[in-house]
Amino acid sequence: MSSFRLFAPSSRGGEEELDVLVVGAGPAGLTAALYLARYGVKTAVYAKEIGGQMAIAPLVDDYPGVPRVSGRELADRFVNHVRSYGVPIVIDELVDVRREGDRWVALFSSGRRVRCVAAILALGARKRRLGVPGEDRLLGRGVSYCAVCDGPMYAGKRVAVVGGGNSALTSALYLSSVASRVYLVHRRDSFRAMPIYVERARSDPKIEMVLRSVVTEIVGDDRVRGIKVRNVESGEERLIEVDGVFIEVGVEPPTELFRKIGIEVDEEGRAVVDKDMSTNLPGIFVAGDAAGGPKKYRFPQIITAAAEGAIAADAAWKYLQKARSGRGT
């Protein structure tokens, strides 16, 4: 028989009342929730979407013990593991966190309020926009930020991937299994992606590298018809005819929300965290892609996000014990 206590959030005057709220259902948030549940802490996960960046990874082969798995499948495993401890996962978007008396109150877009002693904000990051003409207008009509979600629509078609990081390379490799041709457009001729992905892409006959080049415009009327690409050395511009453009130029943290809450951010807009993932606000922890600052070793991977979630959970649990013992919060 399990010795762990299981909790569901209780309502009080239209509010949820928790010990530790977890916001975000990527690897950091789900791991935090798992650890909190195992500590017997009354918790719940609130998230805009399930899985975060992990869920849209075409193939994950660097999470030990789970070889060659899709990001979606790995995310499902995280979710099922958390749910096996009876932790509720609620879809809602965090809009603010405020101090009311001796509690934090998290406000969500549905109007829901969650009162808690501590909160772990594992908000992740959203895809950065390229910022070129045609990008917004053709979004969903050939412009995509998710190869796994939209790639199957491009069977036998020509696509472009923009970027030179792990996301761009893994997306290009995934798309080469679907599309007839993949143009990988990158502004430099060296990649920040891992060598294993670069080598695979270089030896893939369907992938054509368009290096030292930037996209200046995405063209098309009702659908994407091509991209204008300028060589940064020669200045020469040309049109590459494609049906789809997958933009993978990095991610951005939820800086504005952090500022609104009063969480200190670093020069890249990530929450400044201590080694236990605590922020400048007592009882508010940030883990995963949205965490930064000089004390954090930045290596955004599923395994490091999960590890930070576990650390944040342990620190929040200790904070909770201190609060309960009346030693102040």
Residue ranges that bind ligand NAP, judged by CB under 6 A: 57, 62, 130, 163-168, 170, 187-188, 192, 214, 248-251, 300-301
How far is it, in rounded angstroms, from Cα 169 to Cα 242?
Answer: 18
Nearest approach in angstroms of CB 131 to ligand NAP is: 7
Nearest residue (CB) to ligand NAP, 251 versus 310: 251
Nearest approach in angstroms of CB 178 to ligand NAP is: 18
Nearest residue (CB) to ligand NAP, 131 versus 152: 131
Nearest approach in angstroms of CB 233 to ligand NAP is: 14
Nearest residue (CB) to ligand NAP, 269 versus 300: 300
Which H or E run includes 215? Answer: strand 213-219
Q: Confirm if 78 and 31 have CB atoms less than 8 A apart.
A: yes
Pick the closest to residue 35 from 287, 283, 274, 275 (CA basis): 287
State how far the alpha carbon of 281 is from the alpha carbons of 13, 127, 273, 306, in Å: 26, 27, 10, 22
Residues in contact with 92: Cβ distance below 8 Å, sequence separation at least 6, in sequence order: 46, 47, 48, 108, 109, 110, 112
Nearest residue (CB) to ligand NAP, 130 versus 146: 130
The interaxial angle of helices 71-83 and 27-38, nearest 10 deg, is 20
Nearest approach in angstroms of CB 210 to ligand NAP is: 12
Nearest residue (CB) to ligand NAP, 16 versus 248: 248
For 267, phi then psi, to 5°, come to -65, -15
Active site residues: 146, 149-150
Nearest residue (CB) to ligand NAP, 254 versus 283: 254
Report the C-alpha dihedral over residues 60, 270, 35, 10, rounded to 10 degrees. -120
How far is it, in rounded angstroms, from Cα 84 to Cα 103?
Answer: 28
Residue 51 token pair: 């899985």
Nearest approach in angstroms of CB 43 to ligand NAP is: 27
Chain CA centroid to CA 209, Å: 27
Pairing of strands 213-219, 226-231: antiparallel
CA atoms within 13 A on the CB side of 232: 11
Residues in contact with 177: Cβ distance below 8 Å, sequence separation at least 6, in sequence order: none
Nearest approach in angstroms of CB 193 to ligand NAP is: 7
